[in-house]
Chains A and B, each alone.
Chain A
Amino acid sequence: MKSIFILTLYLSFSFTLPAQTTFDYDTDIAPVLEKYCVKCHGPEKQKSGYRLDSYEALMTPGESEEVAIDAGFPMTSPLIEYLLLPPEDEYAMPPEGEDAPSGDEILTVARWIHGGAKSKSAGQGKLSLEKLLGENAFPAVERLRTKGAVIDKLAENSSNLVVDLQRLAPKIDASAIEDLKSVGPYVHEFRAALLPSSAKISEWIGTFENATRLDLSHGKFGDEIVASLNRLGGIKYLNLFGTQLTDSGLEDLQVPKSGQLFLGNTKVRNAALAKARADKPNVTIYGNPDVNQTLGITEKAWGNSSTFNPIP
């Protein structure tokens, strides 16, 4: 997802197509590392203290206090050294028996290091919001801010955006929606509680193609948005609390593929909730809090002489 976004940015910001000889971390290197390395050097395992699942991590030393990349010098970069060791060597990476990168893939990594081991997105993160978004999207941000939306980068060195509509959401109009569409592709997290039915979000929510967190709670809409949501495959957090989603809407809902889904105060019934929980083991699905459990705990506590007894 991110790489598509970066590529789009790259194409739209450069006057010529990238030459075959330049390589970028996101488009050329990350997929190779993801395929062969991240299983043991990523979020789950960090063998020898190394993680290779982000540009920043790749440039951070592990237990040996050696950085895997020596920018500009492939042959003194430990990463290349390990990749080129004979498979039977105990330090060979990936270890013997595991899928290993092809010669072309290793060459790509080597040429990328030779070119300075650069990452456009890591650089982009340092850009101001204005520079990052350019002359189309940034004025849209300014207009939305004027109307009360809170919009900022996720963090100083991030190229991802957080959009929180705050009090703009309930009174959103066509011009604000046009502005949201132009900002959409940059957004990582979109918080828009209390959207009215007139917002017709199914018509534009698809522009948030790179979003991972979507809070649409308390919106005045239901199953009609499911088809558009299903196109947002990168979603890890989807908050539909207080919307009018029904059992059949939930049946059709395919996102998030993994992560968290909030369905409290909707029209989804308990049986459908239970079925969805069984059908989607990778998604944690939240309903309403169980008030009977609470009442039960209180009742039990009153019967326990060492707890809340007597009531003061």
Chain B
Amino acid sequence: MITRREFLQKSAMGFGTLALSGTMQQDLSGSTMPLYPKTPHFAPKARSVIFLYMDGGISQVDSFDPKPQLAKENGKKPKFKVDPTVFNNNGNILKSPWEFKHYGESGIPISDLFPHIASCANDLCIIRSMTAFSPNHPNANYALHSGHILSGRPSMGAWASYGLGTLSQNLPSYVVIHGGQVPSGGMQCFGSGFLPANHQGSIFLSQHPVLNNTSFQESSANLQKKKLEYLGEMDGALEARLTHSEAIESAIQNYELAYRMQMEVPDVTNISNESEVTKKLYGIDAPYENTRSYAAQCLMARRLVERGVRFVELTINPGNGDRWDQHSRLVDGHQKNAMAVDQPIAALIKDLKSRGLLDSTLLVFSGEFGRTPFAQGTNGRDHNPQGFSMWMAGGGIKGGTIYGATDEYGYRVVENKLTVHDMHANMLHLLGIDHTRLTYRFSGRDIRLTDVHGEIVPEILA
């Protein structure tokens, strides 16, 4: 395969001509493009991933892992050994303020926080045995995204992009639809680390315009064309003087993708043409503003996946009291956070299903860790990395199942412990990638998203 640079040399024309023939008229064989789809290692179950990132650490015992024992011992001192926590202001056992009901054919228990998601119980595979590598937000966030507790490693979305490219050449392969809540640890959670920069998460806002630089600045299309041609000439001249320059090649690629995005992004993110029924389904007209905002994000996610974007991640909205990080006032904060995401996520599942996209789209719902079954102060919960719940649905996942278990208090994993490496390995597996073969040489070593770990879990796969 020839590189983009060789192509430029061989075709003996500057960027301008290439932009005209390649990007405007779609007259370029895509195989020279850096994000052109690559052949999977084996037949994929999922084509795209939507990662529903529950920033802050949602409480497992209040959502997907009911523990009746907590009600029995409510207000009593924990009988089990309590490890130090972040604030170490550990109180007595705190029962869940929410009731659990059984849903779906297999009677999966889900709390009253998620009545909409509960209506999709047949599609969910709830994993009750996740663990985190750190009890601190930034490190747990880095680990959740990159498999490593320190910053600077490529995010899972960047790895998926590096491994598979993307189907739509007019959109980035990894898009973060940003609700506004910047994760602890910063936006570098979505970075590409040492992978080429075109794999990093592109940040779209949840409201139109999603990017502030996609509108045309020039008075006419012709003027823009001329500018790009001139830019291309200059880049070409510079490239002729240098024997090889990754930076120039990246710059040329970025100009080209940016140009194509000017065409595509305003359209793909414009949800106003969706039917009224669809908008109602997602909650675009909901009374709570954060439901409306997250609904727009979910609807946008569907539209991106429809066009073949490989990896879409959603961050949550600020203004729910706090992220899912209720060190105090658990009821108020978890209720607001749940109300914001519940209906939109359920709508996303139902909409994808109706359009024939759910079986090729993997949905993953997870925070960076869980929360303690005992109180912090009187009415909050501290961080708990030793056992928490997440769920997956869609492409290649066995719906209506529960995997793993915590102890009778929901504190520590006692059965089928999983780590983020396992989660990443299974995500890549469903995309058709053998995680042990997806490597990038950096600092003298072939580095993997899953380091030297990661197990495929047949029980969660359809």
* Co-complex (A, B): yes
Q: Residues of A with Cβ closer than 8 Å to B?
A: 142, 145-148, 150, 152-158, 164, 166-168, 193, 215, 217, 237, 239, 241, 260, 262, 264, 286-291, 293-295, 297-298, 300-301, 304, 306-308, 311-312
- Please tell me if B115 contacts chain A, counting CB pairs below 8 Å: yes
Residue from A148, A262, A287, A304 in contact with B30 in the complex, judged by beta carbons closer than 8 Å: A148
Give chain A residues whose Cβ lies under 8 Å from the Cβ of B375.
none
A291 to B346, CA, bound (A): 11
A166-B308, A262-B355, A300-B115 are known contacts. Are A294 and B167 too (CB-CB below 8 A)? no
Query: Are the CB atoms of A289 and B353 closer together than 8 Å?
Result: yes
**Would you call A289 and B39 a contact (CB within 8 A)?**
no
Whether B365 sits at the interface, judged by CB under 8 Å, is no
Inter-subunit contact A166/B42 (CB<8 Å):
no
B440 at the A interface (CB under 8 A): no
Give Cα distance in the complex from A289 to B306, angstroms.
17
With A148-B30, A294-B343 already in contact, the answer to whether A155 and B356 are too (CB < 8 A) is no
Q: Across the interface, do B280 and A164 meet the contact criterion of CB distance under 8 Å?
A: no
Interface residues of B in 245-282 (CB under 8 A from A): 277, 280-281
Task: Give chain A nearest CB distance to B120 CB in angstroms.
Answer: 10
Which of B21-29, B78-86, B87-95, B218-226 contacts the other chain?
B21-29
Q: Are A297 and B353 in contact (CB under 8 A)?
A: no
A306 touching B343, Cβ below 8 Å: no
Task: Report Cα–Cα, A291/B41, bound state, in Å.
Answer: 39
CB distance from B27 to the nearest CB of A (A): 6
Contacts A294-B350, A297-B343 known; 5 new A-B pairs at CB < 8 A? A166-B308, A262-B356, A294-B116, A298-B116, A304-B112
26 contacts between A and B (CB under 8 A): A142-B29, A145-B30, A147-B27, A152-B39, A156-B42, A158-B43, A164-B167, A166-B169, A167-B26, A215-B356, A262-B356, A264-B354, A264-B355, A286-B354, A289-B347, A289-B350, A291-B281, A293-B119, A295-B280, A297-B115, A298-B286, A304-B112, A304-B115, A306-B97, A307-B98, A311-B339
> Contact at A155–B26, with CB atoms within 8 Å?
no
In the complex, whether B168 has a CB less than 8 A from a CB of chain A is yes
Rounded to whole angstroms, the CA-CA distance of A107 and B43 in the bound complex is 33
B432 at the interface (CB under 8 A from A): yes
Binding site secondary structure of chain B = loop
User: How many A-B contacts if CB must be within 8 Å?
Assistant: 126
Contact B354–A241 (Cβ < 8 Å): yes
Q: Which A residues touch B356, using CB under 8 A?
A: 215, 217, 237, 239, 241, 260, 262, 286
Q: How large is the interface on B (under 10, 10 to 19, 20 to 34, 35 or more residues)?
A: 35 or more
Question: Among the interface residues A157, A239, A289, which one has the most CB atoms of the partner chain B within 10 A?
Answer: A289
Interface-centre pick from A145, A168, A307 (highest chain B CB count, 10 A): A307
In the complex, per-residue mask of B38-70: 1 if CB is within 8 Å of any chain A CB, else 0: 111111100000000000000000000000000
Closest to A160 in B: B43
Residue on A nearest B97 in the bound complex, by CB: A306
B99 within 8 A of A: yes
A146–B31 CA distance with the chains assembled, in angstroms: 9
Question: What's the Cα separation between A293 and B354 when bound, in Å?
Answer: 15
| A residues less than 8 Å from B286 (CB atoms) | 298
Which of B's residues lie within 8 Å of A, judged by CB? 26-31, 36-44, 97-99, 112-113, 115-116, 119, 167-170, 277, 280-281, 283, 286-288, 290, 306-308, 320, 335-336, 338-339, 343, 346-347, 350-351, 353-356, 359, 432
**Residue among B98, B99, B290, B354 with most chain A CB within 10 A:** B354
A146, A239, A262, A298: the one contacting B27 at CB < 8 Å is: A146
In the complex with contacts A237-B356, A262-B354, A291-B277, A298-B343 CB distance below 8 A: yes
Decide: A312 near B355, CB < 8 A? Known: A155-B40, A294-B281: no
Alpha-carbon gap, A260 to B112, bound state (A): 32
Inter-chain contact A311/B26, CB cutoff 8 Å: no
Chain B, Cβ-Cβ closest to A129: B39
Closest to A154 in B: B43
A240 → chain B closest CB, angstroms: 9
B37 touches A152 (CB 8 A): yes
> Is B116 a contact partner of A156 (Cβ separation < 8 A)?
no
A312 touches B29 (CB 8 A): no
Residues of A within 8 A of B335 (CB): 307-308, 312
Contact among B30, B283, B290, B351 for A289, CB-based, below 8 A:
B351
Question: Is A155 a contact partner of B42 (Cβ separation < 8 A)?
Answer: yes
The residue from A168, A217, A297 contacting B355, defined by CB atoms under 8 A apart: A217
Q: How far is the CB of A196 from chain B (nearest CB, A)?
A: 17
- Nearest CB on B from A150, distance (A): 5
A289 touches B115 (CB 8 A): no
Cβ contact of A307, chosen from B36, B115, B288, cutoff 8 A: B115
